[in-house]
Structure 1
Amino acid sequence: MSSAVPRPTDYRAEIDGLRAFAVLSVVLYHAFPTGLTGGFIGVDVFFVISGYLITSHIFIGLDEGRFSFANFFGRRIRRIFPALVLVMAVSLIFGWFALLAEEFQQLGKHVASGAAFIVNFILVGESGYFDAAADTKPMLHLWSLAVEEQFYIVWPLVLWLAWRLHISLLAITLLVAAASFYFNLRYVATNPTGVFFWPYGRFWELLSGSALAWLMLYKRDALDRAKAGVHAVIGRMIPLGMPAARTALVDNAMGLGGLCLLIYGFVGITSEVPFPSAWALIPVCGAILIIAAGSTAWSNRLFMMNPVAVWFGLISYPLYLWHWPLLSFIQIVESGEPPTGMQGLPRSSWRLALRG
């Protein structure tokens, strides 16, 4: 670990704006899958953000000697469970009246595995994320929350052990990330559903945010000097025409480059390509560039830090939790043909009759 003292992580509005881009892309993809073909990559952006923020807090806690597993998991429980339990309870109540017996049984299994954060493993044996059957699984979207929580169970312990043994936190982060990325590339063709849902092929995305957190905390001065050097070289080659901060050109280029990568991913990636695979580098690198650019980049100020984007970012978690069950239940209730003798009844009525 570097001997540099990490700086406390202040609130960063551009990260909330990035959350807004991530959650809205997922919602729009689920609502209009042919309109925003790559909207599902918003989940990958969430992974980078989570890895960056959570690992930053762990690094600071370790350096200051106040990291506690009890406090860490207590905060996670208080943040995650209230909204999650509400969504699950409402889904079960609605499902009792609207679903057939087999559908309700499956919903119960997914609620239980979702609460235990293992639903991603359950889904691997059922169908892929892009299969038609996925539309009838109201808890399908909890796979990403499961991956995050599995990461949070393992990663703090790994970092704590590395810190106690005086092992470089950056080295262990890069090593695990490389192993995860290799698993992703190695098996995405032969087991695409498993690689999509399992944490082994996803941890590298969260660890990309972890590596950025290490650099921003311990090597911030070196990064700023490197940015200033590039800024000075470009300034000598191309007259800037007006005074600018010594890292302005690089920050603006990083912010705009990250935004362009995300836009390309949203419209250029489709469910037909193997994913995550190397395609996931597009949203991951885009998110890293936007976070690293910070609040001084004009694209971040314009697109990420405006009040609308920040507001959507602040409600991103409940919005993500609620949107898919609503869309899924609509699909379930409005699909299928009524049995003989019940053709004149509304779908909700004959489904309830069969349920009874």
Structure 2
Amino acid sequence: MQKLQSLTVLRAVAAATVVFFHVMTPTGHTFGEFGVDIFFVISGFVIALVTDNPALTARRFLADRIARLVPLYWLLTLGVFAGALAAPDLFNSTTANFGNLLKSLLFIPYRKESGQIFPMLFVGWTLNYEMLFYAVTAVSMALMRRRRLLLASALIFVIFCAAKASGSHGVMADFYSNQRVLEFPLGFLIYRLWNFGIRINPLLAGGMAASAYTWMAYVNWHGLSHAPLLYYGAPAFLLIVSSLSLESAMDAGLLTRTAIFVGNASYAIYLSHPYCVEAARKLLPNAIDDFHPAAPVGVAVIIVVATAMGGALYQFVDWPMYRRARRLLQSAPAVRSRESGMAGSNPTRLAVDEEPAGDVPANRDTA
């Protein structure tokens, strides 16, 4: 089983970037939104890797993706609903609406009371795109196993164009005409390049990775991000290509092991950090004299707390729930998709690391 530590570390960087963005958002001057673009491109790479296996069926692929995303997301969404029901004054734009709860749980985009297209757990908007991506990939696997990546890319492009051409200002048209849906196929392309053995000199790759991240931070900080595919998607493409070329430079030191654990826990950190950020903003100033959430020390403390809480959630809640859900959903016999015996050349890549704190194979977490 080949474990891509470089991508796991990059997921840790992306998770910390998003947490920083939400810590600093009230100041009106921040960067970090592009962390989700990094996740989307990684997701495309990971799914291309996962589906390059002759033993994998469309049903089993979709079952595993549902098992990975749904349990923790539903748990934390229900937590938001319960909070809005018990203490509505604590929420700015979320009410205990059963219809909106159902849409959130079923990954159906809708406009919140603020007018923005967010589910109850607002960071879950990215999962609405992920679930569309998984559904399109599953359909492509069932219809055209050998050319599944090409068909999935074409279907995503058709959905984007149809939403754009509709001229509607409805929720679905607005949501699926976002250029970010086109970032998943960029991950497909990276996989093809990686699978062909294309690598960059590690010294050059390190410079490219740092430059790509710096560019995205600069664009985000100065509010130039009107075309996310160009300003974020393309640099994320270069960042991930470069990171994969740094795989040989990964060591077994404490810093690397810590980053790998954080990368493993990135999904739990991403979903849970709004709880931690808001709690820290409200509680820490009262507990610590002169504590300011947007000050450098305050930002560092909140990021560490959110990361630690997300790591604990991953270790003791998220990963156990995923394993149980996966066993439950995959207990029924699978029906092989068309041409399934003709795809891929390395079925061992589908193996799942059984240790929650261990190195993550490239096909585990994608969000």
Assess if the C-alpha contact under 8 Å between 2:107 and 2:127 holds in 1: yes
Instruction: Say whether 1:155 aligns with 2:137.
Output: yes
Listed as ranges, the matches of 1:1-356 within 5 Å are 10-33=2-25, 34=27, 37-60=30-53, 64=54, 66-99=55-88, 105=95, 108-118=98-108, 121-123=109-111, 127-128=115-116, 139-163=121-145, 168=147, 171-172=150-151, 175=154, 197-198=175-176, 201-217=179-195, 219-220=196-197, 223=198, 250-270=201-221, 271=223, 273-296=225-248, 298=249, 306-327=256-277
Assess if the C-alpha contact under 8 Å between 1:162 and 1:169 holds in 2: yes
1:288 shift after superposition: 2.7
1:194 shift after superposition: 7.5
Assess if the C-alpha contact under 8 Å between 1:47 and 1:206 holds in 2: yes
Amino acid at match of 2:10: L
Assess if the C-alpha contact under 8 Å between 2:48 and 2:191 holds in 1: yes
1:177 shift after superposition: 6.7
CA distance in 2, matches of 1:194, 1:275: 19
1:319 shift after superposition: 1.0
Amino acid at match of 1:123: R
CA distance in 1, matches of 2:209, 2:191: 17
CA distance in 1, matches of 2:243, 2:112: 32
Assess if the C-alpha contact under 8 Å between 2:136 and 2:152 holds in 1: no
1:301 shift after superposition: 5.6
Residue-by-residue CA offset, 1:283-311 (whole Å, 9 max, x unaligned): 42233323431412x4x669997122212
1:324 shift after superposition: 2.1
CA distance in 1, matches of 2:113, 2:39: 25
Residue-by-residue CA offset, 1:21-59 (whole Å, 9 max, x unaligned): 111111110111358723010000000111111121112
Structure 1 runs not aligned, ≥5 long: 1-8, 228-248, 334-356
CA distance in 1, matches of 2:116, 2:179: 15
Residues 110, 171 of structure 1: alpha-carbon distance in 2 compared, 3 angstrom cutoff: same
Tell me the SS of whatever aligns to 2:67: helix
Residue-by-residue CA offset, 1:232-285 (whole Å, 9 max, x unaligned): xxxxxxxxxxxxxxxxx6233123302321133124324453142521234422
1:116 shift after superposition: 0.6
Structure 2 runs not aligned, ≥5 long: 284-367
CA distance in 2, matches of 1:311, 1:208: 26
* Farther off after superposition, 259-268 or 15-24: 259-268
Amino acid at match of 1:139: L
CA distance in 1, matches of 2:234, 2:153: 19
Tell me the SS of whatever aligns to 2:225: coil
Q: Percent identity?
A: 20
CA distance in 1, matches of 2:42, 2:201: 21
TM-score (norm 2): 0.63
1:197 shift after superposition: 3.8
CA RMSD in angstroms, aligned pairs only: 4.0
Amino acid at match of 1:47: F
Amino acid at match of 2:185: L
Residues 313, 196 of structure 1: alpha-carbon distance in 2 compared, 3 angstrom cutoff: farther
Assess if the C-alpha contact under 8 Å between 2:136 and 2:155 holds in 1: no
Residue-by-residue CA offset, 1:152-203 (whole Å, 9 max, x unaligned): 001231244233xx6x45654665676678789x78xx97x98884266323
Assess if the C-alpha contact under 8 Å between 1:303 and 1:309 holds in 2: no
1:76 shift after superposition: 1.6
Assess if the C-alpha contact under 8 Å between 1:23 and 1:320 holds in 2: yes
Amino acid at match of 1:52: F
Residue-by-residue CA offset, 1:96-115 (whole Å, 9 max, x unaligned): 22105996646644432221
1:19 shift after superposition: 0.5
Tell me the SS of whatever aligns to 2:205: helix
CA distance in 2, matches of 1:45, 1:152: 17
Amino acid at match of 2:143: L
CA distance in 1, matches of 2:207, 2:153: 26
Assess if the C-alpha contact under 8 Å between 1:48 and 1:287 holds in 2: no
